[in-house]
A and B are shown apart, each in its own frame.
Chain A
């Protein structure tokens, strides 16, 4: 079976027993994120039955198709869904959000998602975006299934950016993004919403993130760092060149500046404070070149 299933078709589909007794409605599809495989595997469904939201493991499903999802009999006892960190709910967390097409270095809106069955398991294979998936979601169910898929992007070449709604913390290595040049990462950071940009910064290796941050306008840097978590924020500052780090720290409001500096190793925080103090003095003495001074400052991390 190589025909992909669209997630938008599954949402709202009836959930039945094998003999046809209706149990509820499909509300969401859950996948497991695993860095060792290119495609996330579908682990189950979230179904609404009366007032309860239940988790249906994929092993219980015998027939998976938009007209009805049928469950194995005898029916296993179903529990309610408990979210854990390496799971994604495709409807709640991914559909209609933006994802980064790493190859094309642009953001795409997830208009639909495609599932592919292989070796008895179901995988999240592709992201659809464009007018066709939109039309399919707007059209009545019967008509919608006739519409062909639009532009499909391999899930493996795109990067999921946690949206601000339910904050999903992803522990995936951002290898694909890290292979981009700093200017390219900066370009992406510049078009993301703050929450997403901060999540992305936090997930990158500090030196990669530092190089990208230095490419951003100072205002954007300050904006991202004014809400960043102390751990990743400190690590990125540490990896930045001292003049750039001092520019950034100097542009923050005093509260956040102190919090960040206090989180840094004493040696580095001291060096940054010294640069800032020198600049404050220099700004009182017109005519002295700040650049010459900052060139002499060396790398904060001592590398």
Chain B
């Protein structure tokens, strides 16, 4: 730690701060999610990074490409650390959310564009989470026509009207069941030399499908909504730039943890499903990769983990979206307001959750493919959002000496360039050889 830094507050200090903040009902994001921010936004990010879409992506990558694309998780993980750090630093230095900064710096037209992209990406992500809930339900033999509306309604009431903390702890605990993938990966006796080689040496995508899969990986790792969420969480927590070193550590820990879990899901499915040519078409297939650990209980274990992860994110994503949009346009926001005071905030939240539920209940919608598609959309929309973040993080008038250093710019810029190239390649190939896609 350098001399200017301050040690993170003790547990007792946090306990002292929390009740105050809770009861004041100021219009801050999260409101009822604040306890999550007490854990540190990095932990939130770790939990959110492994949402239903992320799990589906990692399982699919392992099953279809084996170990080939492991390097992409490492690179996107490094990108995630850099981007999260930028957002956390901007939040701590300016005390403002990302949507707020985009509106002030880039003005109305760009703010509208950014918000439209955010809403589209997050609508996709919300669909993925509800598809995850439906898939988990189907593992337990419950029809999606019952599970999805119940879950959407329950989450809506929980977030808007009830104490959300206990429920969210349960979700977080459930999603931690996915850590069994680490054990499953080890027990499946993967080809470790191949794993290490793939981690260190990037292999170019073999075909159009793999190029799309790469974008999906980036989209699932650096989800656009997470950047808005992390920055707002840092602002809400009242972190100042004097605590920057702890904010940085937190961002890095969260990103590393999230990447770590994703990597082991890939290794587990690559070792079990890839050799037998089994693609992840449904949740049951992804659960099969856990059989080395759990045997017949694999489906239950996976179903509960998926359910927890999906429920956790299914509430946060629409809430963060509604908050960001209202922040950009200066409308009342936060669960402490009444519906009459904050119609757009509540309207958007309900529309996202309800719309996603309706989409998932479409009979015969392939759930896993919907989850993957949402992450692809998130990946496609990531470059413009990254560009906004990079421009803001390099603004000397905004951040002064806290503006981006060279390393952050190299990583952030590299991620942006790589994704843009991939997208152009995908676009050109899709146009010239449409049959292949």
Q: Chain A: residues with CB nearer than 8 A to chain B? A: 95-98, 106-109, 111, 129, 134, 137-138, 163-166, 187, 190-195, 197, 217-220, 223, 226-227, 253, 256
- Pairwise interchain contact A194-B95, C-beta atoms closer than 8 A: yes
A95's closest neighbor in chain B, by CB? B107
Asked whether any CB of chain A lies closer than 8 Å to the CB of B24, the reply is: yes
Inter-chain residue pair count (beta carbon < 8 A): 74
Which of B21, B105, B330 has most chain A Cβ within 10 Å?
B330
Name the interface residues of B2-58: CB closer than 8 Å to any CB of A.
Answer: 6, 16-17, 20-21, 24, 26-28
3 residue pairs, one from A and one from B, having the closest CB atoms: A109-B330, A217-B20, A194-B95
Contacts of A191 in B (CB 8 A): 26-28
Contact bitstring B103-142, A, C-beta under 8 A = 1, else 0: 1110111001000000000000000000000000000000
User: Given known contacts A193-B95, A219-B238, is B330 in contact with A129 (CB within 8 Å)?
Assistant: yes
Least distance between A68 CB and chain B CB atoms (Å): 23
Alpha-carbon gap, A193 to B242, bound state (A): 16
B106's closest neighbor in chain A, by CB? A96
Which one of A96, A108, A111, A190 contacts B104 once the chains associate, using CB atoms below 8 Å?
A: A96
Q: Kindly state the interface size class of chain B when it binds its partner.
A: 20 to 34
Contacts of B107 in A (CB 8 A): 95-96
Give chain A's interface secondary structure class. mixed
Asked whether any CB of chain A lies closer than 8 Å to the CB of B409, the reply is: no
A136's closest neighbor in chain B, by CB? B108
Alpha-carbon gap, A191 to B29, bound state (A): 11
- Pairwise interchain contact A253-B6, C-beta atoms closer than 8 A: yes
- Pairwise interchain contact A227-B240, C-beta atoms closer than 8 A: yes
Least distance between A87 CB and chain B CB atoms (Å): 18
- Pairwise interchain contact B16-A138, C-beta atoms closer than 8 A: no
Can you spell out 26 A-B residue pairs with CB atoms less than 8 angstroms apart?
A95-B107, A98-B330, A107-B330, A108-B330, A109-B329, A109-B331, A111-B108, A111-B330, A134-B112, A138-B109, A138-B112, A163-B104, A164-B94, A164-B96, A165-B105, A190-B24, A190-B26, A193-B95, A193-B100, A194-B240, A195-B94, A218-B16, A218-B20, A219-B20, A223-B238, A226-B242
Contact bitstring B364-375, A, C-beta under 8 A = 1, else 0: 000000000000
User: Given known contacts A195-B94, A223-B240, A253-B6, is B108 in contact with A96 (CB within 8 Å)?
Assistant: yes
Contacts of B240 in A (CB 8 A): 194, 223, 226-227
B94's closest neighbor in chain A, by CB? A164
Least distance between B234 CB and chain A CB atoms (Å): 12
Asked whether any CB of chain A lies closer than 8 Å to the CB of B398, the reply is: yes
Contacts of A227 in B (CB 8 A): 240-241
Name the interface residues of B88-106: CB closer than 8 Å to any CB of A.
Answer: 94-96, 100, 103-105
Contacts of A190 in B (CB 8 A): 24, 26
Alpha-carbon gap, A192 to B330, bound state (A): 12
Contacts of B397 in A (CB 8 A): 165-166
- Pairwise interchain contact B329-A134, C-beta atoms closer than 8 A: yes
Contacts of B398 in A (CB 8 A): 164-165
Least distance between A253 CB and chain B CB atoms (Å): 5
